[in-house]
Amino acid sequence: YVAYDKQVPFDYPERTWPGKKLQRAPRWCSVDLRDGNQALVNPMDSERKLRFWNLLVSLGFKEIEVGFPSASETDFDFIRMLIERELIPDDVTIVVLTQCREHLIRRTYEALKGAKRAVVHFYNSVSVLQREVVFRKNKAEIKKLATDAAELCKSLEGEAKGIDLYYEYSPESFTGTEPEYAVEVCNAVIDVIKPTPEHPMIINLPATVEMTTPNVFADEVEYVSTHLQDRDSIVLSLHPHNDEGMGVAATELAVLAGADRVEGCLLGNGERTGNVDLVTLGLNLLTQGVDPQIDYSNVPEIRKTVEYCNQIKISERHPYAGNFVFTAFSGSHQDAIKKGLEARQVAADRAGANLDDFVWLVPYLPIDPKDIGRTYEAIIRVNSQSGKGGMAYLLKTNHNLDLPKRLQVEFDKIVQKYADDTKKEVKDEDIWRLFKDEYLPV
């Protein structure tokens, strides 16, 4: 990770523009094993689930939604296995999802027998559309579904003896709901559960479908945050999806607006366009100098496991994880990166300090690839669009050849012709071969 107290290699002004900045990471909850899993063509079997679970635990997730045990026998069995084989570390809390329906809630409690700590997460749809079209119930009737579920949960606590039990309630389709009504329902649930600051409950606001701009979502979250009763006893959570492609932005604004916790999936798996991407959220914090509290120091390994478990490939352009995100194709970018890397080295040498003691300030690269387990290898690539900078950089770093300017111009013509002829990216070995053929004939 970057150390947040690193030296600055040159006079680099503090960012001074006004505006709030995230100061610390929210509480994270991975819903990969539930929301992510339910959106897969081939849902995970127990082997893939266990592998995903192990990844989440190793990364440092302390809250993991492990399934919907009343809806899926695989989920039920998986939860039983975690509990019976004692695979849940003491500092990790499992979350189980249920609809607000009696038989489903009862089955959920059966799944939890013997757990040390758990969250029962109950939800019902409260949006205008769901009320009118799907359930044909009025506001009072919909609210009653939620409070009845809360009462049933309380009455089942006897069956959950020995479990340090918490509750989470989601007014599902919050984004299609009048915020005033969402608050009314949540407050009614809070009245039943009676959380305390010592034993809080989670109120989770799902952008089940993302349908507003991030600022509007953040305003709605702020409204709930300031109108919920017993706010000190509530952990206000977000559950954003990404239908308009703004899940990350909406989440960041909504955390600034008062949310304490975020649910999402690694690399953005999930229904339709996905749940909000926890890796991007965490690493965006890191680029702002805030510790994400999750170990994202080996993104390639995370990606490998996520791709294996979900059986979905991550796009080349995916923030932080895609193959191309530390690759500069443009000559001017390559040149700027080269200068940035050199400036860092010069500053370190001058100070007699280690390169890693300096804050990362390199044009076009918002983060040091090394901090997330990636390498510089592919940063400089040469193709028919790039200028001579990339080629010169490769010759210098890989072959210790510092070409004078005029020779750079001359040799670049040869490299560009090769790129035009082959219509491919020119690899380091191609450049070296062309150079040897031209200037070092045997």
Interface mask toward ligand KIV for 265-304; x: CB under 6 A:
----------------------------------------
- Give min distance, CB of 30 to ligand KIV, in A: 13
Q: Is 208 among the residues that bind ligand KIV (CB under 6 A)?
A: yes
Task: Choose from Zn ion, ligand KIV, none: what does 123 bind? Cβ within 5-8 Å by kind.
Answer: ligand KIV
Q: Which is nearer to ligand KIV, 175 or 416 (CB)?
A: 175
Binding-site residue total for ligand KIV (CB under 6 A)? 9
* Four-CA torsion 97, 291, 306, 309, nearest 10 degrees: -40
Binding partner of residue 388 among ligand KIV, Zn ion, none, CB cut-off 5 to 8 Å per kind: none
Q: What is the DSSP string of 67-127?
A: E-TTT-HHHHHHHHHHHHTT-S-TT-EEEEEEES-HHHHHHHHHHHTT-SEEEEEEEEE-S
List the structure tokens of 410.
Answer: 């001359």
Per-residue contact string for residues 171-190; x = within reach of ligand KIV by CB under 6 A: -x------------------
Region 122-181 residues binding Zn ion, contact defined as CB under 5 A: none
Q: Following CA atoms 98, 104, 107, 113 in sequence, which dihedral angle do they give, to the nearest 10 degrees?
A: 30
Helices (H), 317-376: 331-351
Residue 261 near ligand KIV by CB under 6 A: no
Q: Does 35 bind ligand KIV (CB under 6 A)?
A: yes
Q: Does 200 sit near ligand KIV (CB under 6 A)?
A: no
Closer residue to ligand KIV (CB): 97 or 153: 97
Q: Which residues make Cβ contacts (< 8 Å) with residue 141, sequence separation at least 6?
A: 135
Within 223-264, strands assigned E span 234-240, 261-264
Which entry of Zn ion, ligand KIV, none binds 26, CB below 5 to 8 A by partner kind?
A: none
**Of 153-172, which residues contact ligand KIV (CB under 6 A)?**
170, 172
* Closest to 177 in 3D by CA, of 229, 123, 231: 123
Q: What is the DSSP letter of 56?
A: H
Name the residue among 150, 152, 155, 225 with its Cα closest to residue 195.
Answer: 150
**Nearer to ligand KIV (CB atom), residue 224 or residue 286:** 224
> Considering the rule CB under 6 A, would residue 93 count as an interface residue with ligand KIV?
no
Q: Rounded CA gap, 408 and 396, in Å?
A: 11
Contacting residues toward ligand KIV, per CB under 6 A = 35, 97, 123, 170, 172, 206, 208, 239, 241
